[in-house]
Structure 1
Amino acid sequence: MAGRRRVPGASVVALCLLLVSLVACGGGPAGDRVRAEVQALLDRRAGAVLDRDPAAYARTGTRDGYARLRAVPLADWSYRLTSLHRSGDTATASADLGYRVAGYDRSPVVTARTLRLSRDGDGRWAVESERPAEKSGQQLWDQGAVRAVTGSRSLVLGVGRPAEELRGYAELADRAVPAVSEAWGTRWPRRLVLLVPQSLEGMAGLLGSPASSYRGIAAVTTGETGTGARAPADRIIVNPDAFGVLGDSGRQVVLTHETTHVATRAHTTDATPLWLSEGLADWAGYRGTGRTPAEAAPELAHAVDRGEVPSRLPDDEDFRFAGAAGRLARAYESGWTACRLIADQWGEERLRGFYRAVGAHGRREGAVETAMRDVLGTTPEDFTRRWRDYLRTELG
């Protein structure tokens, strides 16, 4: 008939839309209802964690996980459902887990999680499993039951490590906090959270990276740079394999170094080169230890003895953990000697001011040049010349 055309596939499209609404594979009333049911399930699960209620937790599904994280002092724990893929009576949910450690985190730590769900004959959903989402690092309780030790300024959380060992970490951390405050100032939280996994592999799992990237690295600090006062507390993650071979003084230097990263985090931005951030952390770590430059910078001292004085300060690429060990050591030692030079010739207050000025620049281009001009009254070329002379004098 004139004026009427049959649209091929129109009935198929209509049927597919009806099926979508019925089985909740997408939007629509049924899909929205299932999402609401799953979010409510996750809310109940989070409430059970905060209430320390194992029975309520068990009513939401698998009990795995509850006992492992029971020792962690939590101020907040919540899930935000981000996606849901359902197939009949099973589903896979993606959610952002946000949590705060009581007394330490000012803002939530947020991590992506994947949850497997099932629905019983009465239509109730339950959690079958929970794990880190793809490309997300593990949380410590993913690796086993967490043991907690509290210091005067620190919280140490460990898996598979004896309580006496964890107390030793707390003592190191408690000494590091005042040492860093003396070197940097007191305008930072002055509280630390240390994570001590069972092995190097556990450390790598927390960082979501291959273990080979951190072999020989005693500890690292995680956190968002330049995020200001509302940033969540950093985590100092220990590699017990490498940390265990250090002497007492070496352990203290490492913990003080990492604590400096926590203290300076709000002033460390994309504008801050690694030679400055790592150099300042080493400067604070070695400050007051009585270590001579040759003792603190042996690789660089050997290079100077061979007449191989570096022609430039290290760039960020020189600090790659996966690079040659000697190159990495010289990069750290170069940053340390550069910051030590500023403290010696311009004073510690100028060193702190220089660090803050570089971070405040906002972008890498021009940051060091501007701060050297405004704070130190010099240029990168003149500073590099002074630094090379300093290496010959202090290490030669």
Structure 2
Amino acid sequence: MRRIRPLGAALAAVVLLLACGLPAALVAGLVRAGDPPVPQASAAASDDPATVAARRLGERMTAELARQSAALLGGDRTGFLAVAEPVAHPDLRRRYAALRALRVTAWEADATGLPTPVEGRPGEWRLLVEFRYCFVAPGCRTSRVLTGTRWREGDRPRLLAVEPSRSAETGTRPWEVSELAVAVGARTLVATTPALRKELPGLLAQAEAAARIADSYAVDGRAPDRYRIFHAGRDEWQRWYGGGRPKWTGGYAVTVGGGHHEVVLNAEGLVAGGVDDLLRHELTHAASLPERGYPGRDTWWLVEGLAEYAGADGEPIDRYAGLDEVRGLLGGGWDGRLDSLSPADDAPADRVGGSYGISYLAVRHLVDRFGPERLRAFFAAVVHERTPVAEAAERVLGEPWPALHAECVAYVRAVVG
């Protein structure tokens, strides 16, 4: 995630990403597309008649969802709407248009249990459904979202509503709740609201350039099939993926399963000259982070430092926008340990900028000292393999971590003088 700087200044990088062990405000759940589906309830000899009836109703609902999925992939809007009552059509038309604009290439829907009656509404039922999807790239590992659906009972059940997921894992996806305008390039997909459509061509060009940098930070060379970027207006920023980000946030990346991280940009927080490094930063997260999240706050400096290093894209150190904030943090408020740099949600802007600046300079020193390949191997050991930093330093870099840590801090102090 990146923070918003005052108008006229560059953005300093701040990322809020899924991290195991972080407080609830910072944690997104881990939806892993490689996991098996939630088991369906199976028939048993002891099932009572109500359970048997609910199972048969669920099977009919699932059949309707299969018809709807085929219609979506086939570009048949009439067929997509045909499973639903007219009350659901406005929402379904918007969802259909958004998913088609995103070039959906896989769409599967499976019930995760038996339907349950809706209290106070005879003949209405709720069914929890797992939707699995791909965009643009055929045959990708699917992302997942768990959603409630409501139905009217019948020989052919009729869909009444599809609820926004509001899931604890990642929150509501943009295509669930918003109209979208979309542009697709060779490496990226960029979506925004119709009101911001005019910004799409420029954003796509900038995203494509950023993707070329981010690709080089993919662990084991496994770059995303497409980087998914959502450009949020004011209302969407508060709604997409659960909203509630720290006020200093200019962008973030969130895992959605299947090896995908979706990037969200805060349209109100972008300033001229700050978009390119923001995109390089966030797409590097999408390329480098594991889908299960990183180990915790004590590795935050490495995750953010790598993204900031990619965002800087080789610019001279004296052009880095956060040096004054680094100097301020060194002067007070920091205990000198890299593993304590992660700022609180309500941290002041200068504290945030200083934290990311120190992280950037520490990673830059490690790259200068050991080269980019060994730095990436160190990152993979710590962030992907969850090897303790001290052990990874000995194994990958060949030196004790206390000495390297002291070197990094000394380098930071030397840079800001």
TM-score by length of 2: 0.77
Are 2:69 and 1:35 equivalent residues in the alignment? no
Tell me by how many angstroms 1:175 deviates: 0.7
Going from structure 1 to structure 2, the CA distance change for 1:169 and 1:292 (only over 3 Å counts) comes to same
Partner of 2:400: 379
Alignment deviations for residues 191-213 of structure 1 (CA, whole Å, 9 cap, x no partner): 311112322x4234222242xx2
2:248 alignment partner, SS class: coil
In 1, the alpha carbon distance for the partners of 2:322 and 2:225 equals 26
Alignment deviations for residues 324-367 of structure 1 (CA, whole Å, 9 cap, x no partner): 3333222211211110111122222322222122235435xxx1
In the alignment, is the contact (CA less than 8 A) between 1:147 and 1:163 conserved in 2? yes
Going from structure 1 to structure 2, the CA distance change for 1:103 and 1:295 (only over 3 Å counts) comes to same
Going from structure 1 to structure 2, the CA distance change for 1:378 and 1:310 (only over 3 Å counts) comes to farther
In 1, the alpha carbon distance for the partners of 2:252 and 2:139 equals 18
* Percent of residue pairs bearing the same amino acid type: 21
Tell me by how many angstroms 1:321 deviates: 3.3
Tell me by how many angstroms 1:394 deviates: 0.5
Q: 1:236 aligns with which of 258, 263, 267?
A: 263
In the alignment, is the contact (CA less than 8 A) between 1:319 and 1:332 conserved in 2? no
Tell me by how many angstroms 1:38 deviates: 1.1
Partner of 2:111: 81
In 1, the alpha carbon distance for the partners of 2:139 and 2:233 equals 24
Going from structure 1 to structure 2, the CA distance change for 1:209 and 1:46 (only over 3 Å counts) comes to same
Q: Supply the AA of the counterpart residue of 1:223.
A: T
Alignment deviations for residues 34-80 of structure 1 (CA, whole Å, 9 cap, x no partner): 11111111111222211211211221113222344231201111211
In the alignment, is the contact (CA less than 8 A) between 2:133 and 2:143 conserved in 1? yes
In 1, the alpha carbon distance for the partners of 2:83 and 2:395 equals 59
Tell me by how many angstroms 1:108 deviates: 1.2
The answer to which structure, 1 or 2, has the higher relative contact order (CA under 8 A, 6+ apart) is 2
Going from structure 1 to structure 2, the CA distance change for 1:391 and 1:232 (only over 3 Å counts) comes to closer
1:234 alignment partner, SS class: strand
2:252 alignment partner, SS class: strand
Are 2:389 and 1:368 equivalent residues in the alignment? yes
In the alignment, is the contact (CA less than 8 A) between 2:150 and 2:161 conserved in 1? yes
Q: 1:99 aligns with which of 128, 133, 137?
A: 133
Give the unaligned 5+ runs of structure 1. 1-17
Tell me by how many angstroms 1:105 deviates: 7.4
In the alignment, is the contact (CA less than 8 A) between 1:106 and 1:233 conserved in 2? no
Going from structure 1 to structure 2, the CA distance change for 1:307 and 1:273 (only over 3 Å counts) comes to closer
Q: Supply the AA of the counterpart residue of 1:393.
A: A
Q: Supply the AA of the counterpart residue of 1:311.
A: G
In 1, the alpha carbon distance for the partners of 2:222 and 2:47 equals 59
Q: Considering only CA atoms, is the larger Rg found in Structure 1 or Structure 2? A: 1
In the alignment, is the contact (CA less than 8 A) between 1:104 and 1:193 conserved in 2? no
In 2, the alpha carbon distance for the partners of 1:46 and 1:207 equals 23
Q: 1:298 aligns with which of 312, 315, 324?
A: 324
Q: Show the 5 A alignment for 1:1-396.
A: 21=49, 24=50, 27-28=51-52, 30-61=53-84, 62-63=88-89, 64-67=91-94, 68-69=97-98, 70-83=100-113, 84-86=115-117, 88-103=122-137, 106-119=140-153, 123-136=155-168, 137-182=171-216, 187-189=222-224, 191-199=226-234, 201-210=235-244, 213-223=245-255, 231-243=258-270, 246-248=271-273, 250-266=274-290, 269-270=294-295, 273-292=299-318, 295-304=321-330, 306=331, 310-315=335-340, 318-359=342-383, 361-362=385-386, 367-396=388-417
Tell me by how many angstroms 1:319 deviates: 3.6
TM-score by length of 1: 0.81
2:347 alignment partner, SS class: coil
1:195 alignment partner, SS class: strand
Corresponding residue pairs, total = 357
In 2, the alpha carbon distance for the partners of 1:234 and 1:36 equals 33
In 2, the alpha carbon distance for the partners of 1:319 and 1:375 equals 28
In 2, the alpha carbon distance for the partners of 1:140 and 1:32 equals 32
In the alignment, is the contact (CA less than 8 A) between 2:366 and 2:408 conserved in 1? no
